[in-house]
Structure 1
């Protein structure tokens, strides 16, 4: 397990990332990052002596779809169920954090257009925010 430094967003903030050691100084990311930009599933990273990511040395071609449901929105639970169902239907690996934050893996060649269409109306209504990171 390693950490990504997110202190540029909040002092002392870090995200824990699960990895698999490839060599003495290279690790493959084996989780779906929720908050760390520029690191996706199966990317290869290097670390410093504090187990903090120093660089991405090989991109996997995977992308990460991140969705944040607005906690106060009246349709939050229904949106959670809808999105979860669409991801299961599309057989896309995904993780939820506290039922509000979603991180989904988009493997190389994945056409996410149908999923993005589902996000458009709730995003315009202020019920969620989404982004894709590569």
Structure 2
């Protein structure tokens, strides 16, 4: 959804999830505002509707801080997240690969293989952004040990959100 200068409104850029880990037959899409109103960046979040205005997150947010898989959120009349009402205990490990890095494709394959080997649900955005679900009790140390030297080589940036 975009609106242009002729309408007197700012452009809205929406980051979407191509293959959310919790995709199901009854998903409901809401959005999280990623910026102040002038910038217009939002992230689409796949959810399962619990009540009229509460939803359980069914994807791994790439850019929305403070919301993780299976957290319960409320929305306003514009379907924008207004609050987290229950944390699930899941954490999200995010990695952003440096597009210009000479070994970006190899880094992608390495991280993809590591998350699969560890049995961790994950999502990719444009082959450059990785979000990994860390369910309660998951030890991310093996994945972090893979990430550290790649970050030191300026091949990626990473973080863990809860």
Q: What is the aligned partner in structure 2 of residue 87 from structure 1? A: 115
Report how many residues are paired: 134
Measured in 2, the distance between the counterparts of 1:60 and 1:10 equals 32
Q: What is the aligned partner in structure 1 of residue 93 from structure 2? A: 65
How big is the shift at 1:8? 3.6
Q: Which structure has more RCO (C-alpha within 8 Å, separation ≥ 6)?
A: 1
How big is the shift at 1:25? 1.7
Instruction: Give structure 1 stretches of 5+ with no counterpart.
Output: none
Question: Which residue, 134, 137, 145 being the options, matches 1:106?
Answer: 134
Measured in 1, the distance between the counterparts of 2:31 and 2:67 equals 12
Question: Which residue, 34, 37, 41 being the options, matches 1:6?
Answer: 34
Question: Equivalent residues in 2 for 1:94-133 (5 A)?
Answer: 94-133=122-161
Q: What is the aligned partner in structure 2 of residue 75 from structure 1? A: 103
TM-score (normalizing by structure 1): 0.97
1:31-80 CA distances to partner (integer Å, 9 max, x unpaired)?
11100000000000000000000000000000001000000001111110
- Return structure 1 stretches of 4+ with deviation > 6 angstroms: none
Instruction: Give structure 2 stretches of 5+ with no counterpart.
Output: 1-28
Q: Which has the larger radius of gyration?
A: 2
How big is the shift at 1:9? 9.6
Measured in 2, the distance between the counterparts of 1:119 and 1:39 equals 22
Q: CA RMSD in A?
A: 1.2
TM-score (normalizing by structure 2): 0.81
Q: Secondary structure at the match of 1:55?
A: strand
